[in-house]
Amino acid sequence: MKRFTVDWEPDAEDELARIWMQADDPWAVARAQVKADQLLASDPIGQGQHVSEGLYQIHVPPLVLTYSVDVAKQFVQVAWVRTTS
């Protein structure tokens, strides 16, 4: 199976950094980000929930990522991240 390339929008990266810096357990945030990237690289459509035209979400506590998928290019673009709480 071909893996998808996962890329983060700069605003999403900035928000992830903010979440990490303010977290009670920053390593839980880091582990969730790594796990989410792995899941999205392997099967972004099957691992996430369709939320609207072209957008999906994946929940990997304590994070929720919103992303789009270009199947033809095997590319995932993370548009936003937030915490589950």
Residues above pLDDT 70, as percent of the chain = 98
Q: What range defines the domain where residue 76 resides?
A: 5-83
Mean pLDDT over each residue of the chain, to the nearest integer: 95
Digit-coded pLDDT (tens) for 17-31 = 999 999 999 999 999
Please give the helix or strand (H or E) that residue 48 lies within, else none.
none
Judged on CB neighbours under 10 Å (0-12, 13-18, 19+), 8 is buried
The per-residue pLDDT for 78 is 98
Domain count, the chain: 1
Query: Whats the size of the chain, residue-wise?
Result: 85
- Choose among 27, 37, 12, 14: nearest CA to 62: 27
The per-residue pLDDT for 42 is 96
The per-residue pLDDT for 1 is 61
- Choose among 79, 76, 63, 78: nearest CA to 30: 63
CATH code assigned at 19: 3.30.2310.20
Digit-coded pLDDT (tens) for 28-56 = 999 999 999 999 999 999 999 999 988 99
3 state SS of 25: coil
